Structure 1
């Protein structure tokens, strides 16, 4: 072991020879022994700094139980590792008042049935401690170089957190100021053990000025700064059946927290958005091992998943920024201001996703319309906002997100007059727009209309417009002729020419349907606005 604990010292031959027996504080034998101090003083606290194993014969101990309790309180308050009392001079057996006082403060009390040479104990233990301190220095240098190399190559926060977890074997969580778990590495424990009710549990642990144990669960907590102010904190969770945190755990967490602070100064600070994007993408493609894992990860980022309507929204946009604010950042800020709980992150360079948690009894349309109008006013009218059906189970979000993506894919420039779109807004033009890159659609258009388009190009005619108006008028020649500003006779002649060129019978309903699809597809492919 790199550090001596009270249990380690009790196994040393120099102590074992005294037949040590633990009379109190049995659960605290994993405390690190920083030094050994021999004292017969009644007020030794002024000479101690914490972490010492105190050796005494008990000769000056008071007989009064209150004074004896005060003596133990001094030791416990200063944080000694334990108290070792040699029997035979003052005590023949463990005094009940001393045992009771140590048990009350959960302070390890060890009674030595045989006498030992305290000088030999101090020499042996101090030699081992100095060796351990030297090993800690060498280890600290190695850890420092490791985190420095990660910082210099611009590592992402996930790498820093995972490295800290790998070095210690303990779960590590990076959270922001509002207690959302942004990055985590669970090490040997399951996500459920680490992230369950994360925000509530996290609020019970105070943030110390530097790495220290905090909270009822005994978390090791270190602050993460950003430009001289607190950004969040790095938290290491103890192993369920493992020893308490030692100096090496503290050193590693401090190094990791410092590296994360530097990373926020030198790299991309959008860690919250990255975390949201990761969870949204995992939901979109359902990469979770279970519904519980999905729920815990979403809730750890502040999204309530039970008792709410979950509404997926997809925003298609150019990779635009307004005053260095991205669409995702703008959305997150607006939703936070309006009190809407949501995950917001980029799904790709031109697509942002958000998953809102709304009250089941509330209407979602006003919320989405407000978001859509604000986005289009800020980032331009070309932004497409597509909404999937609301669901009540997180496992249903994948299907709903896919539907929202399909809607977003179908909304072309000619269909963007509405502030937002749902599946029922996808008609024939939108369907064909979503298939615009399909070679089969392109071949269909060429086979049906190629000769007509070529004729217009050669002769400067406008037969395609005449055909379009005729089809839009559902075969009513009078209405179509009026729309193109021709006499009925002149319009009829154009229709005959169209029939000859295309080898089609425009009086047949099936022919008109096929041509109408082809004309609509052609307009979609060429970006011609349909009405």
Structure 2
């Protein structure tokens, strides 16, 4: 514990000055940060919280009562620890308005009846403050030495917090700007970790490239005090920035693409590295948010990235995106919201197409972001082949499986299930296969099927009747539903491949 207000009053030099209390402090254990002496009237803005002022009142002698009250209010606004006025030639007595205003503001006020050189009081008081700080400084230097040694031996962020926890006997943590826990030590369990995140005894921001990446959090331990913990947190934050920076390279703009590339290759070894590198890239999803991978194929990926950034800003989403091997890849963090029960479907509908094909992966926690990104990327070729615009990967599951088959295998599936329909369409120029595919896609809803095909419902009824007659069974028969869905999906793949081949031949 440093010098308190009561400790200041007990100093020999202060007792020699025959100090008398004019306005009592609210708490005698109020910390004194530093002791100053000054005679200028405008001293208030130059002082800091916890400072104590010694004055003869020379600056108050030539001003009126209103100015004196203003002087007291300025000192109170700076939250100084107290003011001691030496009575004598400048102020034979303490002005009543000074005493009254100090009482109104809750500013501790004292008078000194005996002349004692202020330099003696300042030396004694500030020496005591420095002496109290010495153990803190030694503790901080010891911890920093241990951290530097650990980093030199190949350690990282876990060593930063473990050294702090070992020295203080209390919990320590490193968190991202959004509160994601990167590393912790000395934390007894989940509840203790949550308490540290909510109300740390000391904290300091970790900054890289002039951007706030996260923070060092410290909890109380045996023999620690708030001032010592805050000093340690501030010094650790600088070292933590180095440890965090070792996980990335270059500037923030140079971090996103390598991270996305590593996620695509499943080469990010754990959640800790993911959190660190995502934070370096400016991606700070909240702990409650869910993450979706997105991938897009477009003539100009930069245009896609710009449209994603615009959506993120307008919808308040966290976005990490960049161009990787000619494709636009990204992670989007969607906060939980009652009006978004299906974040993937919502995002697919919200994404502008911009002459691009975009796939949206499944909703996952941040730790599984790589899985969602890989799903989105793996589904992109099928979505591009089919020209689907923006689509959720779950809607392409069957098509992705069928896409592993060659044309011969797909043709056999179609022939086994749909030969009567394909023959009828070839003979009469009808559209029965497509009608069946749309009908199955909309779950057998005749209204939605008619709207999608842009036909009257009576025309749809006639088509469905023809289909059932040719197949010899109802189109809504549960026993044949899967067979028909697979077959119509195979048709769409064969048609898409045929269009692709024709396009290649035309370009040649």
Question: Where on the TM-score scale, by shorter chain, does this alignment land: which range?
Answer: 0.3 to 0.5
TM-score by length of 1: 0.45
Q: Write 1 or 2 for the structure with the bigger share of helix.
A: 2
